[in-house]
Amino acid sequence: MKAAAISVSPLSGVLSVGGPARRGWAFAQRLLRNRSALIGLVLLAAVLALATAGRWLFPGDPWEMAGAPMLWPGQEADHPLGTDFMGRDLATGLVSGAGVSLLIGLVSTVLAALVGTAVGALGGYYRGWVDAALMRVTEVFQTVPKFVLAVVLVAIFKPSVGTVVLAIGAVSWPPTARLVRSEFLALREREFVLAARTLGMGDARLILTQILPNALPPVVALASLSVATAIQTEASLAFLGLGDPNVMSWGTIIGGGREQVIDAWYICGLPGAAIVLTVLGFNLLGEGLNDVLNPHLRER
Amino acid sequence: MSLLDIRDLQVAFDTRAGVVQAVNGVNLRVERGETMALVGESGSGKSVTAYAILRLLAKPAGRISGGQVLFQGTDLVQLDERAIRAIRGNRIAMIFQEPLAALNPVLSIGRQITEAIRLHRDASPRAAWEQAVELLDRVQIPSPRQRAQDYPHQLSGGMRQRAMIAIALACEPDLLIADEPTTALDVTTQAQILALLKQLQLSTGMGLLLITHDLGVVAEVADRAAVMYAGRVVEEGGVNALFANPAHPYTQGLLASLQMDRLRAGERLPEIAGTVPSLLDLPEGCAFAPRCGQAHRLCRAESPRLGPAGTAQRVACFFPMAEPVARSLAA
Amino acid sequence: MRGPRLFGAFIGRRLLRLVPVVLGIAFLNFLILQLAPGDVVDVLAGEAGAATPEYMAALRAQFGLDQPLHGQLLHYLWNVATLDLGFSFRHNTPVLTLILDRLPATLLLMALALLIAVALGIALGTLAAARVHGWLDHLISVVVLVAYAVPSFWLGLMAVVLFSAQWGWFPSGGMVDISAGHAGLARVLDVAWHAVLPACTLATFYLAVYAKLTRTAMLELHGADFIRTARAKGASEWRVTVVHALRNALLPVLTMLGYQMASLLSGAVLVESVFSWPGLGRLAFESILARDFNLLLGILFLSSILVTVINTVIDLFYGLLDPRVSVEGRPA
């Protein structure tokens, strides 16, 4: 039985009548009107442009020793952002780093979101011993220092893009799990769940088609903030030398430029600034999403 | 000279939707040893009036936009911050509606009373604590010495309200303002608290301004009452006279809606038709005119001021009722 | 939470909850060991190839690798319970000794950073709330936003460039000036001077968290009924803010502190690497370079225990501050 165009979703606070396309458009409009989200999106667009268009503007291998070492930004036209101590072009490195950060950040967050949602949904829906067991597991992962665990995982399983993504995903899922669990605990008592059950809907279908869509809005906001953290973690891992050795990330550049930081601080400065702007972008977007999707939680 | 004399008080709130005139010219007098009840439904402006006396309005949105509040001759509206603080809790005290929310959850009851004492009197912590225990005894809390060490969440609703009264009485105020003190309590406790307030008033001789929407409470404890509607006092007088011969159509309607014992089976409950006007957009002329059964062209054009009606009773109406009329006031 | 009897029950309850968590952490360690590529012993001995065959045999015996999986697990849990975390061949010392040796330095750094973050964070948050929507509030919000986004290791490097290299105010690394050989008060001051940059770097992120939290809490309390009562008593604005509002706003801050412990330790690892601060973090960094996984796992285990212990202490503190709290502990 197809639901009518009017939905029960909290997203319906945005617009209660109309098909998904119209609601999506109304939502986008509201998001763009939010100042935090707007600034965030602008920053992220810039980073995305760097990662994509940058490839075309600065082609080539970031590992290649393209010019004289330790050139300052603006010193030579060929290398507008300078070179590092091995003569590698910094602009090319930044472009590469943008791609890596976005990729790892997004994929690991999606992974963490999937795991977290599954854990939270099962615990929140079934409660009882299932919930107790899952909560204990969540507690363990929240007690262990996240970065130390990520370091251990990547170190033991040999650093590569895959292990980094898996490691970050493995340490980032608890907050999502907690959030989804509390949403499910609240939503399962609502009348539309009771109604669906009376129709004879099975558990799996109920969870996936009825409760989950309503639980997702805060998860989406949290996801944006999680990407920010994931990018920070990835940079920290790369800085410590635990990034994929074949891939140049912003953290790798900073780690490499560490020895010369006093003389040529731009080698560390530029990629670091890039990290700050990217993280800022995702943070602002996450705040904006929170404002729009959860207005009742908005602070004054 | 009256203890409290409010003259043409105006309070406005700046909101995103515009300026809300919550109090639109209130005139009120409270004498020593007298209980004055300020009655009205939600949104009539009675609580706002009470807050305005002690300048407790939520800044920056709320402001006193006109009028005077004369306390023993001094206009409280004109006082600076230090002066009004010297009066708060000292000469004029206030108790609030929801005692659990109105007490600091992390401080003991005794601490909250001694704070009130030590803010205005030179007292050592020990002496203040003794006074606090005495005050708790005066408000009839059993085992006051132990109770003083308890926290608000450990007391029942009635005891919490008594504790609030104790805090209010700490510096022997001349005027006590009680904002719906019994609304959050059950009926039995209500009666006890009201009796306590009355008894304290008689023993101290202070004035009591009681804010309430409950006419039963008014009948129980008040000497005089003022009825508020849409930010103004529409009728004022001795409680007995008011209840026997209400002059304003609104007061009539309020009292009529209480007289359910006169109903015959199958009859509709008496009500006042219509709804309270939005304070953003008050009608020209009398605010009650849209709902009044006897509204005249004059009523819609001009706003009536409080004038005499019978002895010691005042009403703001161009056509006050001389006798009680029919129960239903459908327009 | 009143009375010594309830207090004892409180502690007992909290300690009881520790046990499954500790078991869980140990099990996690074990799982990682089992899932790692290659033989468990290969992983533990590391890649440096400095392990002798005798050492490898000893490890095999220690871990009971000839036994089935559950036997190995029990063996491992027993080792952990007796705090036998193995031996670091690189340092030629038991892992436990190594970690306990470096622990005080890390604790010092964490404590200092926390002090700065909490004190400054609460101050800024209260200020922002007091001047809400004004220019000061906006300025603090922007500072907070940026502080939240800056990676700690990068901030540390930039701080070294500015405060150490350029202006020469603070040393660029280490905990003491070994050549000077200070003792007593001079040594304390020396350590303090060395600690300024790393502690401030570590504190920055958490400063942002607490400032934001305090601001929100204070704003929420602004319209609270008991605040109005305090004003009605004649209390000054300062008194209302500090004695009444802040006292209540501290509760969520304290709760957040508990959640942040694990993260603080993680942050310390990074900062110590940048500033060559001789603590657990530096040890972890060295063990990564040397592929000394046994040591790394030991650090993981003990730091988790540390987090749990600190969390329990914070719970206790919370119980003291909030009289509404029952034996169950602080609200989730």
Q: What is the pLDDT of residues A210-221, one digit of tens each?
A: 888 888 888 988
C310 interaction partners in chain A (CB closer than 8 Å): none
Asked if residue B257 belongs to a domain, the reply is yes
Q: What is the pLDDT of residues B108-125, one digit of tens each?
A: 999 999 999 999 999 999
Contact C36 A258 (CB under 8 A): no
Domain that residue B4 falls in? 1-82+212-331
Q: Which pLDDT score, from 0 to 100, does residue C36 have?
A: 73
Residue A16 pLDDT greater than 60, yes or no: no
Contact A155 C293 (CB under 8 A): yes
Interface of C with B (CB under 8 A): 223-226, 228-236, 244, 247-248, 251, 321-324
* Per-residue pLDDT band at A180 (split at 50, 70, 90): very high
- CATH superfamily of the domain spanning A99-250+277-300: MetI-like (1.10.3720.10)
State percent of chain B over pLDDT 70.
94
Residue C49 pLDDT greater than 60, yes or no: no
Q: Which pLDDT score, from 0 to 100, does residue A213 have?
A: 85
Contact C165 A279 (CB under 8 A): no
Q: Which residue's structure tokens are 């303002």?
A: B177
Instruction: Indicate the pTM of the whole model.
Output: 0.80
Q: Say yes or no: A57 contacts chain C, CB-CB below 8 A.
A: no
* Per-residue pLDDT band at C205 (split at 50, 70, 90): very high
Which region among A224-233, C29-38, C42-51, C301-310 has the lowest average model confidence (pLDDT)?
C42-51
Chain B adjacent subunits, 3+ CB pairs under 8 A? C
Average pLDDT over residues B7-15: 88
Q: What is the pLDDT of residues B64-102, one digit of tens each?
A: 888 999 999 899 999 998 999 999 989 999 999 888 889
Query: Hey, where are the domains in chain A?
Result: 99-250+277-300
Could you tell me which residue, B239 or B270, shows the higher pLDDT? B239
ipTM, two decimals: 0.84
Contact C158 A283 (CB under 8 A): no
Could you tell me which residue, C294 or A295, shows the higher pLDDT? C294
Asked if residue B168 belongs to a domain, the reply is no
C263 interaction partners in chain A (CB closer than 8 Å): 145-147
Residue C172 pLDDT greater than 70, yes or no: yes
CATH number of the structural domain spanning residue B298: 3.40.50.300
In angstroms, the CA C117 to CA C196 distance is 13
C248 interaction partners in chain B (CB closer than 8 Å): 104-106
Q: Say yes or no: B93 contacts chain C, CB-CB below 8 A.
A: yes
Q: Which pLDDT score, from 0 to 100, does residue B329 have?
A: 37
Nearest residue in chain B measured CA to CA from C240: B104
Residue B174 pLDDT greater than 70, yes or no: yes
* Per-residue pLDDT band at B322 (split at 50, 70, 90): low
Q: Say yes or no: C303 contacts chain A, CB-CB below 8 A.
A: yes
DSSP SS3 for A47: helix
Closest-CA residue to B224 (of B96, B311, B319):
B311
Asked if residue B167 belongs to a domain, the reply is no
Residue B259 pLDDT greater than 50, yes or no: yes
Strands B62-71 and B74-75: antiparallel
Q: Say yes or no: A262 contacts chain C, CB-CB below 8 A.
A: yes
Residue B184 pLDDT greater than 70, yes or no: yes
Contact B56 C232 (CB under 8 A): yes
Q: Say yes or no: A254 contacts chain C, CB-CB below 8 A.
A: yes
Q: Say yes or no: A296 contacts chain C, CB-CB below 8 A.
A: no
- Residue from C2, C233, C326 to probe the interface with B (highest B Cβ count within 10 Å): C233
Asked if residue B180 belongs to a domain, the reply is no
Closest-CA residue to A161 (of A114, A113, A97, A100):
A100
Q: Is the peptide bond before B60 cis (omega within 30 degrees of 0)?
A: yes
Q: Which pLDDT score, from 0 to 100, does residue C123 have?
A: 93
Q: How many domains does chain B have?
A: 1
The type of residue at A58 is F
Asked if residue B127 belongs to a domain, the reply is no
Q: Which residue's structure tokens are 């909560």?
A: A135
State percent of chain A over pLDDT 70.
92
